Amino acid sequence: MLLYQPDSGYCYNSDSIFLYDFINYFHPKGRVLDVGAGCGVVGLLVARDNIKVKLEAVEKQDKFVEYATINARVNKIDYTIHKKDFLELDEEQKYDYIISNPPFYHEGVTKSENEMLFHARYNVNLPLNKFFKKVSRVLKPRSHFIFCYDASQFGLICSELERVNMRVVDARFIHPKKERPASLVMIHARNGSKAFMKIWPPFISFEKDEFSKEAQNIYKRARTQSIKCQI
Protein backbone atom coordinates (compact mmCIF):
# COMPACT_ATOMS: atom_id res chain seq x y z
CA MET A 1 0.00 0.00 0.00
CA LEU A 2 1.34 3.39 -1.04
CA LEU A 3 0.93 6.02 1.68
CA TYR A 4 1.67 9.73 1.41
CA GLN A 5 2.40 11.48 4.69
CA PRO A 6 3.85 14.82 5.85
CA ASP A 7 7.57 15.37 5.35
CA SER A 8 7.65 17.06 8.76
CA GLY A 9 5.50 16.74 11.85
CA TYR A 10 3.65 13.56 12.79
CA CYS A 11 4.14 10.34 10.79
CA TYR A 12 2.72 6.91 11.58
CA ASN A 13 4.98 4.35 13.26
CA SER A 14 5.01 0.70 14.31
CA ASP A 15 2.09 1.29 16.74
CA SER A 16 -0.24 1.73 13.76
CA ILE A 17 1.14 -1.29 11.90
CA PHE A 18 0.87 -3.57 14.96
CA LEU A 19 -2.65 -2.27 15.66
CA TYR A 20 -3.77 -2.99 12.09
CA ASP A 21 -2.62 -6.59 12.46
CA PHE A 22 -4.36 -6.99 15.83
CA ILE A 23 -7.62 -5.67 14.35
CA ASN A 24 -7.44 -8.24 11.56
CA TYR A 25 -7.69 -11.08 14.10
CA PHE A 26 -11.32 -10.06 14.69
CA HIS A 27 -12.30 -10.14 10.99
CA PRO A 28 -14.04 -6.75 10.90
CA LYS A 29 -17.04 -6.23 8.64
CA GLY A 30 -19.87 -3.77 8.28
CA ARG A 31 -19.53 -0.10 9.16
CA VAL A 32 -16.06 0.63 10.53
CA LEU A 33 -15.01 4.03 11.88
CA ASP A 34 -11.32 4.99 12.18
CA VAL A 35 -11.06 7.67 14.89
CA GLY A 36 -8.21 10.15 14.51
CA ALA A 37 -7.28 8.74 11.12
CA GLY A 38 -4.11 10.74 10.48
CA CYS A 39 -2.94 9.82 6.98
CA GLY A 40 -5.44 6.94 7.02
CA VAL A 41 -2.96 4.10 7.54
CA VAL A 42 -4.86 1.90 10.02
CA GLY A 43 -8.30 2.10 8.44
CA LEU A 44 -7.07 1.78 4.87
CA LEU A 45 -5.01 -1.31 5.66
CA VAL A 46 -7.96 -2.90 7.47
CA ALA A 47 -10.31 -2.13 4.56
CA ARG A 48 -7.81 -3.50 2.03
CA ASP A 49 -7.64 -6.85 3.87
CA ASN A 50 -11.33 -7.17 4.80
CA ILE A 51 -13.60 -6.81 1.78
CA LYS A 52 -16.81 -6.65 3.85
CA VAL A 53 -15.68 -3.43 5.56
CA LYS A 54 -17.44 -0.17 4.75
CA LEU A 55 -14.83 2.33 5.91
CA GLU A 56 -15.39 5.76 7.41
CA ALA A 57 -12.99 7.97 9.33
CA VAL A 58 -13.00 11.08 11.46
CA GLU A 59 -10.06 13.49 11.54
CA LYS A 60 -10.01 17.11 12.70
CA GLN A 61 -6.72 18.31 11.18
CA ASP A 62 -7.17 19.68 7.66
CA LYS A 63 -3.79 18.47 6.39
CA PHE A 64 -4.37 14.92 7.53
CA VAL A 65 -7.80 14.91 5.88
CA GLU A 66 -6.05 15.78 2.62
CA TYR A 67 -3.43 13.06 3.01
CA ALA A 68 -5.98 10.41 3.99
CA THR A 69 -8.26 11.31 1.07
CA ILE A 70 -5.38 11.07 -1.39
CA ASN A 71 -4.21 7.75 0.09
CA ALA A 72 -7.69 6.26 -0.24
CA ARG A 73 -7.91 7.37 -3.87
CA VAL A 74 -4.41 6.13 -4.77
CA ASN A 75 -5.15 2.72 -3.24
CA LYS A 76 -8.67 2.51 -4.74
CA ILE A 77 -10.47 2.16 -1.40
CA ASP A 78 -13.96 3.59 -0.89
CA TYR A 79 -13.68 6.09 1.93
CA THR A 80 -15.87 8.57 3.73
CA ILE A 81 -13.97 10.96 5.99
CA HIS A 82 -15.61 13.39 8.42
CA LYS A 83 -13.54 16.53 8.92
CA LYS A 84 -14.32 17.29 12.57
CA ASP A 85 -13.47 16.49 16.16
CA PHE A 86 -14.66 12.97 17.05
CA LEU A 87 -16.50 14.36 20.09
CA GLU A 88 -18.67 16.40 17.71
CA LEU A 89 -19.57 13.48 15.42
CA ASP A 90 -23.28 12.91 14.67
CA GLU A 91 -24.59 10.29 17.12
CA GLU A 92 -27.41 9.16 14.83
CA GLN A 93 -24.89 7.06 12.89
CA LYS A 94 -23.98 3.73 14.51
CA TYR A 95 -20.98 1.51 13.81
CA ASP A 96 -20.12 -2.19 13.98
CA TYR A 97 -16.44 -1.49 14.72
CA ILE A 98 -14.60 1.56 15.98
CA ILE A 99 -10.83 1.44 15.59
CA SER A 100 -8.29 3.98 16.75
CA ASN A 101 -4.68 4.84 17.44
CA PRO A 102 -5.61 7.86 19.59
CA PRO A 103 -3.40 10.50 21.24
CA PHE A 104 -2.30 8.93 24.52
CA TYR A 105 0.67 10.85 25.93
CA HIS A 106 -0.48 11.93 29.39
CA GLU A 107 -0.46 15.38 30.95
CA GLY A 108 2.86 14.92 32.76
CA VAL A 109 5.04 14.75 29.64
CA THR A 110 6.62 17.75 27.93
CA LYS A 111 4.42 18.81 25.04
CA SER A 112 5.58 19.59 21.52
CA GLU A 113 5.04 23.10 20.19
CA ASN A 114 4.37 21.66 16.72
CA GLU A 115 0.59 21.91 16.24
CA MET A 116 0.28 18.70 14.21
CA LEU A 117 2.29 16.72 16.77
CA PHE A 118 0.40 18.28 19.68
CA HIS A 119 -3.00 17.14 18.39
CA ALA A 120 -1.77 13.70 17.31
CA ARG A 121 0.07 12.74 20.50
CA TYR A 122 -1.39 14.20 23.69
CA ASN A 123 -4.54 12.92 25.35
CA VAL A 124 -5.51 16.37 26.57
CA ASN A 125 -7.03 16.60 23.06
CA LEU A 126 -9.14 13.46 23.60
CA PRO A 127 -9.45 12.61 27.31
CA LEU A 128 -10.28 8.97 28.07
CA ASN A 129 -13.60 9.66 29.81
CA LYS A 130 -14.94 11.76 26.92
CA PHE A 131 -13.45 9.45 24.30
CA PHE A 132 -15.05 6.29 25.70
CA LYS A 133 -18.39 7.96 26.39
CA LYS A 134 -18.59 9.05 22.75
CA VAL A 135 -17.54 5.60 21.51
CA SER A 136 -20.31 3.98 23.56
CA ARG A 137 -22.87 6.33 21.98
CA VAL A 138 -21.95 5.66 18.35
CA LEU A 139 -21.19 1.94 18.65
CA LYS A 140 -23.95 -0.62 18.04
CA PRO A 141 -24.87 -2.92 20.97
CA ARG A 142 -22.45 -5.85 21.42
CA SER A 143 -20.14 -4.36 18.82
CA HIS A 144 -16.38 -3.86 18.82
CA PHE A 145 -13.94 -1.15 19.91
CA ILE A 146 -10.30 -1.92 19.05
CA PHE A 147 -7.50 0.50 19.88
CA CYS A 148 -4.01 0.87 21.32
CA TYR A 149 -2.85 2.96 24.25
CA ASP A 150 -0.04 3.66 26.69
CA ALA A 151 0.35 0.42 28.70
CA SER A 152 0.95 2.27 31.99
CA GLN A 153 -2.64 3.57 31.83
CA PHE A 154 -4.24 0.12 31.46
CA GLY A 155 -5.93 0.22 34.88
CA LEU A 156 -7.50 3.59 34.13
CA ILE A 157 -8.62 2.33 30.70
CA CYS A 158 -10.48 -0.62 32.24
CA SER A 159 -12.10 1.61 34.85
CA GLU A 160 -13.25 4.23 32.34
CA LEU A 161 -14.63 1.59 29.97
CA GLU A 162 -16.67 0.04 32.79
CA ARG A 163 -18.21 3.46 33.45
CA VAL A 164 -19.79 3.39 29.98
CA ASN A 165 -20.83 -0.29 30.15
CA MET A 166 -17.96 -1.52 28.00
CA ARG A 167 -15.50 -4.27 28.90
CA VAL A 168 -12.03 -5.28 27.74
CA VAL A 169 -12.31 -8.80 26.30
CA ASP A 170 -8.85 -9.05 24.69
CA ALA A 171 -5.60 -7.36 25.67
CA ARG A 172 -2.07 -7.75 24.36
CA PHE A 173 0.91 -5.91 25.81
CA ILE A 174 3.77 -4.83 23.56
CA HIS A 175 7.29 -4.80 24.99
CA PRO A 176 10.18 -3.05 23.20
CA LYS A 177 12.45 -5.92 24.29
CA LYS A 178 11.97 -9.10 26.32
CA GLU A 179 13.52 -7.61 29.46
CA ARG A 180 11.74 -4.24 29.18
CA PRO A 181 8.33 -3.26 30.63
CA ALA A 182 5.38 -3.03 28.24
CA SER A 183 5.13 0.33 26.49
CA LEU A 184 1.89 -0.21 24.57
CA VAL A 185 -1.29 -2.26 24.99
CA MET A 186 -3.67 -3.30 22.23
CA ILE A 187 -7.26 -3.63 23.41
CA HIS A 188 -10.45 -5.20 22.09
CA ALA A 189 -13.49 -4.04 24.07
CA ARG A 190 -17.17 -4.75 23.52
CA ASN A 191 -20.30 -2.76 24.19
CA GLY A 192 -22.37 -4.40 26.93
CA SER A 193 -20.14 -7.49 27.18
CA LYS A 194 -20.02 -9.66 30.32
CA ALA A 195 -17.12 -11.82 29.06
CA PHE A 196 -13.93 -12.31 31.03
CA MET A 197 -10.73 -10.79 29.70
CA LYS A 198 -8.32 -12.82 27.58
CA ILE A 199 -4.68 -11.77 28.06
CA TRP A 200 -2.69 -12.64 24.96
CA PRO A 201 0.99 -13.70 25.01
CA PRO A 202 3.32 -10.68 25.15
CA PHE A 203 4.45 -9.13 21.91
CA ILE A 204 8.21 -8.47 21.78
CA SER A 205 9.06 -5.78 19.21
CA PHE A 206 12.83 -6.16 19.06
CA GLU A 207 15.38 -8.93 19.43
CA LYS A 208 18.76 -7.26 19.98
CA ASP A 209 18.77 -4.38 17.48
CA GLU A 210 16.38 -5.82 14.90
CA PHE A 211 12.63 -6.27 14.68
CA SER A 212 11.51 -9.61 16.11
CA LYS A 213 10.35 -12.31 13.72
CA GLU A 214 6.72 -11.59 14.58
CA ALA A 215 7.16 -7.86 13.95
CA GLN A 216 8.87 -8.55 10.62
CA ASN A 217 6.00 -10.80 9.55
CA ILE A 218 3.46 -8.08 10.38
CA TYR A 219 5.35 -5.56 8.24
CA LYS A 220 5.37 -8.10 5.41
CA ARG A 221 1.61 -8.48 5.66
CA ALA A 222 1.13 -4.70 5.75
CA ARG A 223 3.25 -4.14 2.62
CA THR A 224 3.36 -0.38 3.09
CA GLN A 225 5.48 2.07 1.12
CA SER A 226 5.61 5.58 2.55
CA ILE A 227 6.34 8.78 0.66
CA LYS A 228 6.96 11.92 2.71
CA CYS A 229 5.90 15.04 0.88
CA GLN A 230 4.11 18.39 1.03
CA ILE A 231 0.66 18.70 -0.51
Using one digit for the tens of pLDDT, what is the confidence trace for 15-58? 999 999 999 999 999 999 999 999 999 999 999 999 999 999 99
**8 located within any domain:** yes
Rounded Cα–Cα distance for residues 105 and 72 (Å): 28
**94 located within any domain:** yes
Rounded Cα–Cα distance for residues 98 and 132 (Å): 11
The residue range of the domain holding 77 is 2-209
Side chain identity, residue 62: D
**32 located within any domain:** yes
Flag whether pLDDT at 112 surpasses 60.
no
Rounded Cα–Cα distance for residues 168 and 46 (Å): 21
- Number of domains the chain is built from: 1
Rounded Cα–Cα distance for residues 125 and 131 (Å): 10
**225 located within any domain:** no
If pLDDT is split at 50, 70 and 90, which confidence band does 105 have?
Answer: low
The CATH number of the domain holding residue 88 is: 3.40.50.150
**139 located within any domain:** yes
Contact 191, 159 (CB under 8 A): no
**215 located within any domain:** no
- Least-confidence region, from 20-24, 69-73, 89-93, 217-221: 89-93
**220 located within any domain:** no
87: exposed, middle or buried (Cβ count in 10 Å: 0-12, 13-18, 19+): middle
**168 located within any domain:** yes
